[in-house]
Amino acid sequence: MLDVKKIRQDFPMLDGNKIMQGHKLVYLDNASTTFKPKCVLDAIANYYQNETSNSHRGDYDLCYNMDVKIEETRHSVSRLLNCENKEVVFTSGTSMSINLIAYGYGMKYLTENDEVLLTVAEHASNVLPWFKVSEIKGTKIGYIPLDESGRLTPENVEKSITKNTKIIAIAQVTNVLGYKVDIKAITKIAHEHNILVIVDGAQSVPHMKIDVKDLDIDFLSFSGHKMCGPTGVGVIYGKYHLLEMMDPLMSGGGMNAKFDMCGDVKYVNPPAKFEAGTLNIEGILGLKAAVDYLLNIGFENIEEYEHNLRQYAISQLETVPNIVIYNKEAEAGIITFNIKGIFAQDLATFLNSKGIACRSGQHCAKILINYLKEVATVRASIYFYTTKEEIDALVDALRKSGDFLDAYFA
């Protein structure tokens, strides 16, 4: 059981003094980014105040200590995912991670005879890098159909595979509909056909226990900032032999073993092969603090708390007149809705006037709007520090959106 009252004391943004439009801030945009606990802020400040140095670039203690700390972060991430330290590559976030895989693996191995399968629910970051591969290599892009509720099922994956399919690139939890995908069943089907499964974990890794070995995932990407960590840092997990096969996207210092005037270059082994230049050291140290913090709270507790809060939110939201909820049955703490007759962005602006932060628009999933048959939606997304009172504030405000509607048409 989570003691949310106590947990909230760890977060300066939740100190009760943050005011938006004259109201106490109610933050319901956690799928976009999350608040940071004090231990993360302290880790970053400590780096600058007490231990500033580059990593991998000096023979003095400060620098050596930084190397050790970076490897300790890799170890925290490997505990998080159940993988080996050498399978953890630091990037700037999910977008960078997926681009690196698309460029480093996709561009190298895919041809015009091959096909990459996506879904219409993917975030731009898991679509556009594959479009680029398609543009340059001629590789076909296919879409696995969602079922009538918007869920990706293993059955539809199986039906969509052709003899040309080489990669399935899908989110474990999509950022608008929030269904949890059965990755284990999908990797099993894919691997029987020698297809790689590349998982966008931006919305799943922060919220649930993930065992990459058990799920048999080939590549997994996620961002630190969506899981209490700093912005500008993220991870690729890759099976080691795949990391060895993949080309770097960026070249430079730290990733080469030697090079000569003729242009012969020998790279170092992964993960350093993909980490050219000075690392985002403050980000990596902050990420370690965030991962350790979440592991200490326990992902079982986080999942259970968010599940119960979601159920509560749905039960309350259903009582709001004229509400349309697009993903009532989804598992993740993402609730996507509209109020009939009010444009989503106007509704989010109205919520802002009550101190409530929700996202509206297409949420970077621009192909999904055809599926939803809506131009835009409002998204409320929770984390383990969200309270029932904050849900009540949302529901109360939405009940009053009828008054807003009167003003809107006046």
Taking CB under 6 A as the binding criterion, the range among 106-114, 118-126, 277-285, 337-345 that sits at the site for ligand PMP is: 118-126
**Residue 331 touching ligand PMP (CB under 6 A):** no
Residue 129, preceding bond cis, omega within 30 degrees? no
Distance CA 134, CA 115 (A): 9
The DSSP letter of residue 29 is: B
| Per-residue contact flags (x/-) with ligand PMP for residues 304 to 323, judged by CB under 6 A | --------------------
Where does 168-325 have alpha helices with state H? 183-192, 212-215, 240-245, 281-297, 299-317
Q: Which of residues 338 and 381 has its CB atom nearest to ligand PMP in the complex?
A: 381
Closest separation in Å from C-beta 100 to ligand PMP: 12
**Residue 119 touching ligand PMP (CB under 6 A):** no
Closest separation in Å from C-beta 231 to ligand PMP: 8
Q: Which of 83, 228, 358, 364 is catalytic?
A: 364
Closest separation in Å from C-beta 32 to ligand PMP: 6
The correct pick among 94, 119, 327, 338 for binding ligand PMP (CB under 6 A) is: 94
In which residue are the tokens 């004391």 written? 9
Taking CB under 6 A as the binding criterion, the range among 22-30, 34-42, 89-97, 374-382 that sits at the site for ligand PMP is: 89-97
**Residue 203 touching ligand PMP (CB under 6 A):** yes
CA distances from 400 to 190, 301, 407 (A): 48, 34, 11
Instruction: Sheet containing 165-171: give its strands across.
Output: 88-91, 234-238, 219-223, 196-200, 165-171, 115-118, 140-143
**Residue 381 touching ligand PMP (CB under 6 A):** no
Distance CA 201, CA 81 (A): 11
Closest separation in Å from C-beta 375 to ligand PMP: 19
Smallest CA-to-CA distance from 280 within 234, 238, 236 is with: 234
Residue 228 catalytic?
no
Closest separation in Å from C-beta 410 to ligand PMP: 36
- Gyration radius of the chain's alpha carbons: 22
| Per-residue contact flags (x/-) with ligand PMP for residues 352 to 371, judged by CB under 6 A | ------------x-------
Q: Which of residues 73 and 174 has its CB atom nearest to ligand PMP in the complex?
A: 174
CA distances from 59 to 27, 54, 62, 72, 158 (A): 45, 11, 9, 19, 54
Taking CB under 6 A as the binding criterion, the range among 40-48, 195-203, 331-339, 369-377 that sits at the site for ligand PMP is: 195-203
Strands of 134-227 (E only): list them.
140-143, 165-171, 196-200, 219-223
CA angle 34, 276, 282 (to 5 degrees): 35
**Residue 125 touching ligand PMP (CB under 6 A):** yes
The correct pick among 40, 76, 93, 271 for binding ligand PMP (CB under 6 A) is: 93
Q: Which of residues 76 and 94 has its CB atom nearest to ligand PMP in the complex?
A: 94
Distance CA 358, CA 32 (A): 9
DSSP labels, 374-407: -S-EEEEE--TT--HHHHHHHHHHHHTHHHHHHH
Cβ atoms of residues 100 and 275 within 8 Å: no
The correct pick among 29, 200, 292, 331 for binding ligand PMP (CB under 6 A) is: 200
Tokens of 132: 């680029």
Which residues contact ligand PMP by CB under 6 A?
Answer: 93-95, 123, 125-126, 171, 175, 200, 202-203, 223, 364
Question: Which of the residues are catalytic?
Answer: 364
